Chain A
Amino acid sequence: MTKTMMLLGAAGLAVAASGALADTSGKRIALSNNYAGNSWRQAMLQTFEEVGGKAVEEGVVGAADAYTTSENQATEQAAQIQNMILQGYDAIILNAASPTALNGAVEEACNAGVTVVSFDGIVTAPCAWRIAVDFKQMGKEQVEYLATRLPEGGNLLEIRGLAGVFVDDEIHAGIEEGVAENGQFKIVGSVHGDWAQDVAQKAVAGVLPSLPEVVGVVTQGGDGYGAAQAFKAAGRDTPLIVLGNRQDEMQWWADQRDANGYETLSLSIAPGVASLAFWVAQQILDGAEVPKDLTVPFLKVTQDTLDEALETTPEGSVANTVYSLDDAKGVISGAM
């Protein structure tokens, strides 16, 4: 989170406190979350608590409570949503365990007059709002960045996420598209790193001996550091690895930069998207007209912003942005 972002956030809150006070001060917003077991989700919950807590303190909304299911199961989260209806929340923001299996509960909520805003893990129920990340673009942008750095092209290694999850399919599709448009690149190997450094390291180490020279590695986040370690262990030159905003990845990047001027790009979704969902829900409760489908920009860390990002990211966490009310308004008007 940059300083300007923080200032913007503070300004946004001040505007909210004076502008929207009358309409939503009595409204209660709940966060339904299906999983809390990794650094990204922890950062997400923390951001929601900070932003929600402050909004409650300043009287923008009546309550902002976070609930997490214990077992990451759709049926459990459906029950959780139904409980929220009973608890009388006016809006539910939702990171869903399944895009479809919660639709019944979401419809119950809509029928009871509750506003439902899904983000990150979105739901397909037509009555809910969706704040989605353009994962496909995230994949494509990696290849486009490589094309600017390596105009002559070469062999690429792709590290994918968890098989069968829609995010993995989307990023992969984006990478394929990027490679199709930039014919100088060729994907010579593809492994599943499951968004975890240790898994990625093992997978890359396993496939490396069979690969020709690799000039670039396209990733999905959480796997770049492991890939770098595997290349190092195999005694190969470190290729250009696109990173995913994890603190260990950025630390490694900074060390490499100081040692030999290593340059790359890092991009991922900011866990602070929960705060964006919060403000969007507040805007809907406030009576603003909001399109059902919104897109959230992803967070990029470049050579210039690396030190700043590293400074504000706690060890073992993910680079984050806290979205303000103004950011939310910008995203809404951008989608109109």
Chain B
Amino acid sequence: MNVFAILAVVVLLAFIAYATARIGPRFMVRRLAGLVFVLLGVSFIIFILGFFAPGDAVFTQLGQHYTPQAAAALRHAYGLDLPWYTQYLNYLNRLIHFDLGTSFTNDTRTVWQILQLYVPASVQLGISGTVLALIVGVPLGILAAVRANSRVDASLQAVGLVFYALPSFVIIPLFFVAMVSLHQRGIPTLATSGWGTIDSEIAPIAIFGLGIFAYYLRLTRASMLEVLGQDYVRTARAKGVRERVVVWRHAFRNAVIPLLTAVGPALAFAVVGVFIVEDFFNIPGIGEETINAISQRDFPIVQGVTILLASAVVFMNLVTDVAYGLADPRIKTQ
């Protein structure tokens, strides 16, 4: 067992215990049942896809030493000669023990080691980009809502729609073209590949953030518009409360709650962006590694990544639900 797994389990259990105490067991039991179902489903789908995939890890591993006897022996050693349901149960059993298996193409490394090696860069990219997107997107969304239907709002919405709709693999090539043409004129440019130095991290983080800031802009605008139209905001204005206080203290605080629900889906949304950005900028992240694993049919890695991502999404959804329940007591009774 490794430290990260133990730490993750401890944090998870503490969180569940705290939330159950605050919100009540019924809500939590239903949420947890849903969570388990989703994880089982995801693990089953990814397992079956791997099971029915043509090509065989044993064949790749033996290479020129391939003989039918050696292959059969190795299959037996891996448990690959068992029927699919036994294999799936074995797989689940290993999952519960945080054993994700060993890479097919690189048999000295376990999937955990590979994840530990490549996930940090991706997480760093994802979190910095999301923070950047929030810093830019939320205030602009508030601005658009406060100045609703003005020219400012219209242009913010137009910019938002453009960046919301365009995939990152449209923006990145244009950025590269710009960098190359600047470089050819002798103007210093940002690095377009690698990871680990500030110079090389600016561009991918900025582009990743740019790709998702519009999402938060649109969300914040919609949420703020709804809150600003409510009676208590009118009352606050009628009392003579200053506009800045109305916007920030009365309206924004309540507009944040719907923003919270977007965290889970936004995570799944961010994954695609991370994959593409890593692919273009040659970042040694999990996206790049997964794409390689997919094309090399290295299933333990693909399965490990999928389970990890699904757990992250499901866990974020749980946190969101619970945060919602804590913030708004009415949820409990539903």
Task: Determine if chain A interacts with chain B.
Answer: no
List residues of chain A with CB under 8 Å of any chain B CB. Answer: none
- Interface on B for A, CB 8 Å cutoff? none
